[in-house]
């Protein structure tokens, strides 16, 4: 079961990434000499509103450059959603923000090294390697500060983030004043520029994404244990420090490959938002991981599509906005933890409780009317109840009374008398009132008699005591109730109710 | 306390010192857990009870001292030891079910990268049945009550099928049903010759639940069979002269004495 799930997750991720890599490769086989033009940005032909032809070309992915960017960014979205889920569950979300900011000085330094070595300073692998190095350094700095000093976690993150980012900004200014004048594109790493992606960039992203997916699939169980209970993992001999390093290494990798597309300011959103959104839909880790991957991929896709159609729109920002829309929708409609679900559950409980209150109140009123209490079971519930008495006896407000009566009328449990100042139970209402009151009293007695174990058996959905408690205990409870004054036993099997024709009822 | 006992005892702690920064928490502690017994570690709050367990398991560094599990250092005897941490030590709002948590006790046996298979899920389910949670196997863990969560942790330890069980406050704020379930499990473990060491906070139940007791207040004040060690005098040495506590303890001691006579 578990293995099947892990395999299916892996399968979907690999198919997704494989499909994307096919998109990139397809062009290479058609046209061998694409290197000169593939770097051309799709924003070069900027127009305000997309022509129909352009929309078609974007959707059908006929344009090679668009295809490249689509493949790269979608893969990035998938990988970040996947890794982000574990990061979120490990409660290290903010560490990824710090890591992304720490990459900036690395980019500057790598550029300087490249210039000094007379390589092309804009070589992406070199720049990303530099970014990864300072990203890891920043992460280690946080860990060291946390372990070796009394500085608290959040302060350590803030200090490292600002120091590295400040250093990076200073380096950027220096680099841009170099006479070679090659550094113009470096600021893309701050805000992101997906459109500037070349096919070799996209391939780099794809390879890194596939690697991340494979590592996550292989270490699924280990990461699960690490995120849930790292202490226990340590007692079991799992190298938690190594596992943490692997996870944080994945975070650095995703951050670094995401720099170009979404920029270092927003890459944290790619990691955290899809994962946080997925958490509203499932209580299973496998499903959560898969959903986060899909949400990340879809966000990436939407972002690139928007920026391909409207070249003035920055892809990075749209990607993040698309993810946030997914998050907002999940927050409201999420099947497991969404606000709607919780609200509906709340409503259902309130409704049931209100219904029970009404029926029990009427039953008890009828009981006090008859002498001796509760013994005249046959005609007991025919007694009409004045609305005013009902309200006062139960200390209800006018509003509450109206609310309860509405429920009673809607379900045809009670009917208004001709004078419109009293209600009586319908045939169905009598049955329900007996059932509800009986259950309530049995539960009450059960709580008193079995105080030690009772709380774990009482559940909001357990209306019927027989569904939860063994019959012999129910019998005993009934005996106990029969001997009690006041709240007497409610007959379990009342006589067949007389069929009363229903009159139109309403307030 | 001789060399041979060190070789065979499930757990033997010698001269253990643990300090957080400059504050000493455990001081020259000697502690033995004899095989096949239920052992309680009791002492006032902040006496270092949990710390003693954690330092034994290499979870926090000890300043000095030696700890032997079945005559071996912990890292070599790991497979024979199961640890039940305090329930509050993890975030229960985690997307896994009860049976998945219990299966975590089998991960070491599975090895790197190997997934949990049907066989292992069945083993985990069996462990859940033992703690009375058979019906809750697929329930997400945040939807369990506190006592049920505690029992999930216990089931995870049972799944490990160890020889020595170290439990950190398993009875802390649990309902009566859970307490009974845990006691039952402890007795069954003892019947199978296993050893259990529990950090325990509830003095009156010590004579009823445990065979051996170690009284700890930074150092081990006294340890041995409950009938001999669990005396008002020793408790006063451990807890100081707090009256209400001592009264309660005195009653417990009396009950223990009666129970011992009853047994013999």
**Contact assignment for A455 to B175 by CB distance below 8 Å:** yes
Residue A195 lies in a domain: yes
Q: Are residues A375 and A399 in the same domain?
A: yes
Report residue A250's pLDDT band, with 50, 70 and 90 as the boundaries.
Answer: very high
State the virtual CA torsion across A298, A304, A309, A315 in degrees, nearest 10: 120
Q: Which helix (H) or strand (E) holds A312?
A: none
Residue A484 lies in a domain: no
Residue A231 lies in a domain: yes
- Report how far apart, in Å, the C-alpha atoms of A376 and of each of A272, A431, A441, A489, A490 are: 66, 16, 18, 12, 11
Q: Are residues A289 and A352 in the same domain?
A: no
Q: Are residues A295 and A369 in the same domain?
A: no
CATH number, domain containing residue A426: 1.10.10.10
Q: Determine the average pLDDT of the residues in A217-243.
A: 94
Q: Are residues A69 and A157 in the same domain?
A: yes
Last residue of a domain, one of A337, A366, A386: A337
Q: Are residues A382 and A313 in the same domain?
A: no
Q: Determine the Cα–Cα distance for residues A81 and A296; give it in Å rounded to an integer.
A: 5
Which residue in A218, A225, A232 has the most chain B C-beta atoms within 10 A of its own C-beta, making it the best mutation to test that interface?
Answer: A232
CA torsion through residues A98, A101, A103, A109, sign = negative
**Contact assignment for B94 to A222 by CB distance below 8 Å:** no
Phi, psi (deg, nearest 5) at residue B216: -125, 130
Among chain A residues, CA nearest to B166? A235
Last residue of a domain, one of A295, A320, A337: A337
Residue A503 lies in a domain: no
Q: What is the nearest CA distance from A453 to chain B, expressed in angstroms?
A: 6
**Contact assignment for B89 to A91 by CB distance below 8 Å:** no
| A218, A225, A236: residue with CB nearest B78 | A236
Q: Are residues A333 and A347 in the same domain?
A: no
Q: Are residues A164 and A280 in the same domain?
A: yes
Q: Tokens 């912990």 correspond to what residue?
A: B74
Which chain B residues are Cβ-neighbours of A455 within 8 angstroms? 145, 175
Phi, psi (deg, nearest 5) at residue A241: -65, -45
Residue A480 lies in a domain: no
Residue A115 lies in a domain: yes
Number of CB pairs, chain A paired with chain B, less than 8 A apart: 90
CATH number, domain containing residue A216: 1.10.3470.10
For A112-153, write each residue's pLDDT tens digit. 888 888 766 568 888 899 999 999 999 999 989 988 888 888
Interchain contact A229–B (C-beta under 8 A): yes
Q: Are residues A395 and A288 in the same domain?
A: no
H helix runs in chain B, sequence order? 3-8, 49-56, 74-77, 98-103, 107-110, 118-130, 146-160, 176-191, 206-209, 226-229, 232-239, 243-263
Q: Are residues A243 and A361 in the same domain?
A: no
Q: Are residues A347 and A215 in the same domain?
A: no
For A178-194, write each residue's pLDDT tens digit. 776 666 678 888 888 87
The whole domain housing A364 covers: 342-430
| B110, B113, B148: residue with CB nearest A219 | B113
Which chain B residues are Cβ-neighbours of A85 within 8 angstroms? none
Number of structural domains in chain A: 2
Residues of B with CB under 8 A from a CB of A: 57-59, 75, 78, 81, 83, 85, 89-91, 94-97, 100-101, 104, 107-108, 110, 112-118, 121, 140, 142, 145, 147-148, 156, 175-177
Last residue of a domain, one of A430, A457, A485: A430
For A465-482, write each residue's pLDDT tens digit. 666 667 777 777 777 777
Residue A168 lies in a domain: yes
Q: Are residues A143 and A213 in the same domain?
A: yes
Q: Are residues A181 and A284 in the same domain?
A: yes
Q: Determine the average pLDDT of the residues in A304-313.
A: 82
Residue A465 lies in a domain: no
| A1, A221, A456: residue with CB nearest B121 | A1
Provide the mean pLDDT of chain B: 89
ipTM over the 0.85 cut-off? yes
Q: What is the nearest CA distance from A283 to chain B, expressed in angstroms?
A: 4
For A318-351, write each residue's pLDDT tens digit. 899 999 999 999 999 998 889 999 999 999 989 9
Does residue A417 register a pLDDT over 70?
yes
Q: What is the nearest CA distance from B263 to chain A, expressed in angstroms?
A: 28
Does residue A501 register a pLDDT over 80?
no
Q: Determine the Cα–Cα distance for residues A67 and A12; give it in Å rounded to an integer.
A: 20
**Contact assignment for A235 to B97 by CB distance below 8 Å:** no
């Amino acid at each position: 079961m578990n293995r099947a799930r892990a395999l299916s997750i892996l399968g979907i991720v690999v198919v997704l990434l494989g499909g994307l890599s096919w998109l990139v490769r397809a062009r290479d086989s058609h046209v061998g000499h694409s290197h000169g033009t593939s770097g051309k940005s799709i924003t070069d032909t900027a127009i305000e509103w997309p022509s129909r032809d352009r929309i078609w070309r974007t959707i059908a992915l006929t344009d090679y450059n668009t295809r490249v960017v689509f493949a790269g960014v979608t893969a990035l979205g998938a990988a970040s959603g996947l890794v982000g889920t574990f990061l979120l569950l490990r409660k290290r979300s903010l560490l990824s923000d710090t890591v992304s900011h720490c990459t900036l000085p690395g980019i500057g330094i790598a550029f300087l090294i490249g210039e000094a070595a007379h390589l092309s300073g804009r070589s992406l692998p070199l720049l990303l390697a530099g970014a990864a190095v300072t990203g890891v350094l920043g992460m280690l700095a946080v860990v060291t500060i946390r372990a070796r000093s009394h500085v608290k976690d959040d302060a350590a993150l803030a200090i490292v983030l600002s120091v590295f980012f400040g250093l990076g900004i200073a380096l950027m200014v220096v680099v841009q004043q170099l006479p070679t004048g090659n550094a113009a594109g470096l600021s893309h790493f701050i805000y992101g520029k997906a459109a500037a992606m070349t096919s070799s960039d996209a391939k780099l992203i794809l390879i890194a994404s596939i690697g991340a997916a494979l590592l996550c699939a292989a270490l699924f169980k280990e990461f699960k244990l690490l995120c849930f209970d790292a202490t226990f993992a340590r007692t079991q001999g799992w190298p938690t420090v190594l596992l943490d390093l692997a996870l944080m290494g994945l975070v650095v990798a995703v951050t670094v490959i995401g720099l170009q597309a979404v920029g270092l300011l927003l890459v944290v959103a790619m990691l955290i938002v899809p994962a946080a959104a997925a958490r509203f839909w499932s209580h299973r880790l496998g499903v959560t991981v898969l959903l986060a991957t899909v949400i990340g991929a879809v966000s990436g896709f939407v972002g690139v599509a928007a920026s391909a159609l409207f070249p003035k729109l920055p892809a990075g920002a749209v990607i993040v906005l698309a993810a946030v829309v997914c998050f907002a929708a999940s927050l409201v409609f999420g099947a497991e933890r969404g606000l709607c679900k919780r609200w509906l559950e709340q409503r259902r409980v309130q409704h049931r409780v209100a219904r029970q209150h009404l029926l029990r109140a009427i039953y008890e009123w009828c009981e006090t009317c008859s002498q001796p209490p509760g013994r005249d079971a046959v005609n007991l519930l025919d007694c009409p109840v004045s609305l005013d008495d009902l309200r006062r006896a139960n200390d209800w407000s006018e509003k509450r009374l109206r609310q309860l009566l509405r429920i009673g009328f809607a379900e045809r449990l009670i009917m208004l008398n001709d004078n419109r100042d009293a209600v009586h139970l319908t045939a169905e209402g009598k049955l329900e009132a007996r059932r509800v009151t009986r259950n309530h009293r049995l539960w009450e007695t059960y709580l008193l008699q079995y105080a030690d174990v009772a709380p774990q058996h009482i559940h909001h959905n357990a209306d019927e005591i027989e569904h939860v408690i063994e019959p012999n205990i129910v019998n005993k409870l009934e005996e106990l109730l029969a001997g009690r004054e006041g709240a007497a036993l409610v007959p379990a099997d009342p006589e067949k109710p007389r069929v009363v024709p229903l009159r139109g009822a309403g307030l | 306390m001789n060399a041979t006992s060190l070789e065979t005892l499930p757990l033997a702690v010698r001269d253990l010192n643990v300090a957080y920064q400059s504050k000493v928490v455990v001081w020259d502690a000697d502690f033995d857990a004899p095989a096949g017994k239920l052992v309680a570690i009791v002492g006032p709050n902040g006496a270092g009870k949990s710390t003693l367990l954690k330092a034994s398991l290499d979870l926090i560094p000890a300043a000095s001292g030696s700890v032997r599990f079945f005559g071996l250092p912990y890292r070599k005897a790991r497979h024979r030891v199961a640890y039940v941490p305090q329930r509050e030590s993890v975030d229960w709002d985690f997307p896994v079910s009860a049976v998945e948590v219990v299966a975590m006790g089998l991960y070491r046996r599975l090895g790197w990268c190997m997934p949990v298979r049907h066989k292992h899920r069945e083993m985990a389910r069996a462990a859940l049945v033992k703690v009375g949670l058979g019906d809750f196997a697929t329930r997400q863990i945040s939807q369990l009550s506190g006592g049920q969560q505690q029992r999930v942790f216990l089931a995870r330890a049972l799944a490990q099928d160890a020889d020595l069980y170290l439990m950190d406050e398993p009875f802390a704020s649990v309902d009566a049903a859970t307490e009974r379930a845990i006691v039952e499990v402890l007795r069954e473990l003892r019947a199978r010759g296993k050893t259990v060491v529990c950090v325990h906070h509830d003095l009156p139940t010590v004579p009823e639940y445990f065979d051996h007791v170690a009284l700890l207040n930074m150092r081990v004040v006294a340890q041995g069979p409950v009938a001999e060690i669990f005396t008002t005098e020793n408790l006063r040495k451990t807890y100081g002269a707090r009256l209400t506590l001592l009264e309660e303890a005195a009653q417990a001691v009396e009950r223990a004495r009666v129970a011992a006579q009853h047994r013999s």
